[in-house]
Amino acid sequence: MNAEYSSLETAIREGNVDRGASEAVALVERGYRPIQIFSECIEPLLKDIGEKFSRLDIFLPEMVNSAQVVKAIQQTVKPYMGQGEELSTKGKIVIATVSGDQHDIGKNIVKAMLDVNGYEVKDLGVDVDAADIVQDAKDFGADIIALSALMLPSLPSVRDVIEYTKAVEGESTYKIMVGGGPVSPEWAEEAGADGYGDDAMEAVHVADQFLQ
């Protein structure tokens, strides 16, 4: 990586929002274009952070903090972008833990992993019912609905969301991916989900395949 990016890289790895934003602005002022900073530095760096987390070489708070720095940088460099220029996102995803299930950690891990892998993710929280998930997906302009369940008795709620979404919005408006402790690939297929992720990294791969 270009040595001029090293301070920015350090700020992102350390989760330092203020320093990350100021380093990005400094780079812009030295003639780097925001899109260039993202493609040459931030995107490969986030990929590396995601991979490190998938081996637990770093932990969830570090990954979340790095994602927050990147979000702050996105906002900070916006005024420096040329007309028609846009920072690329791979796609938009709403993510939720289904109705009746209060567990959020699995969902939060997947969200953080999707964040650092270039997706724009809206977290709807836990215990969210089908109608609210679909409405939020519409409002957000989502490409993908990601559903999480930790408890075995939550599986009917996952199926509810899949059936409701397809009944109300049609079969192909949203790609639906599912995951969580009690969810198996066989169950996901049988329930009508479009994809299944065994862990956060696999969720990213599934999303990538959806939006290829």
Partner 1 sequence: MYSNKLPEITKRSEEGPYMKEKDFDMALARKVSQLVEKYGLEFQPEVLVPADDDMADRLYQASLELLVDQGVYNMSTQRVIHFTRREVEEAVATAPRKLTLGAGKDAVVMEHRSVESTKPCVVHSGPTGTPCSETYYPLITASCAQEPLVDCLGAGSVSTYMGDKIIPGTPLEILGVQKDAVTLREAARKAGRPGMHINDVASPLTCAGKISAINKELGLRSTDGLLVSQMVEFKTDYDQLSRVAYMQSAGMHIVDLMTPLVGGLGGSAEGTAIVTVASHLCGILIYNPSYHIYGHMHLLESTDTDRMGLWIYSIGGQALARNTPVVSITAIYTQAGLGTPEVLWEVAAASIASTVSGLHQGGIGATGGSREDHTSGLENRFNAQVSHATLGMDRKEANDLVLSCVERYEASHQDPPPGKSFPELYDLDVVEPNQEWMDIYLEVCEELEDLGLPLR
CA neighbor of 134 nearest in space, from 107, 96, 105: 96
CB of 151 to partner 1, least distance (A): 6
Looking at 14, 129, 199, 202, which residue binds partner 1 (CB under 8 A)? Answer: 199
Looking at 19, 33, 92, 103, which residue binds partner 1 (CB under 8 A)? Answer: 103
Looking at 27, 109, 137, 207, which residue binds partner 1 (CB under 8 A)? Answer: 109
Query: Which residues are CB-neighbours of 189 under 8 A, at least 6 positions away?
Result: 196
CA distance 123 to 208: 19
CB of 133 to partner 1, least distance (A): 17
Buried b (16+ CB within 10 A) or exposed e, 117-137: bbbbbbbbebbbebebbbebb
Looking at 36, 51, 59, 139, which residue binds partner 1 (CB under 8 A)? Answer: 59
Answer whether 110's CB lies under 8 Å from 179's CB: yes
Query: Which residues are CB-neighbours of 46 under 8 A, at least 6 positions away?
Result: 12, 66, 67, 70, 116, 117, 118
In this structure, the number of other CB atoms found within 10 A of the CB of residue 1 comes to: 12
User: Does residue 152 interact with partner 1 by CB under 8 A?
Assistant: yes
CB of 36 to partner 1, least distance (A): 30
Looking at 182, 202, 208, 211, which residue binds partner 1 (CB under 8 A)? Answer: 182
In single-letter form, the type of residue at position 191 comes to: A
Alpha helix (H) residue ranges in 55-184? 60-77, 105-116, 130-140, 155-169
User: Does residue 60 interact with partner 1 by CB under 8 A?
Assistant: yes
Nearer residue to partner 1 within complex by CB, 77 or 112: 112
User: Does residue 94 interact with partner 1 by CB under 8 A?
Assistant: no
In single-letter form, the type of residue at position 73 comes to: I
Selected range binding partner 1 among 33-41, 70-78, 154-162, 166-174, rule: CB under 8 A:
154-162
User: Does residue 157 interact with partner 1 by CB under 8 A?
Assistant: yes
Total residue length of the chain: 212
Nearer residue to partner 1 within complex by CB, 10 or 184: 184
Sites for partner 1 among residues 5-44 (CB under 8 A): none
For the annotated catalytic residues, the residue numbers are 101, 103, 154
Contacting positions for partner 1 (CB under 8 A): 54, 56, 59-62, 64-65, 100-105, 108-109, 125-126, 151-157, 181-182, 199-200
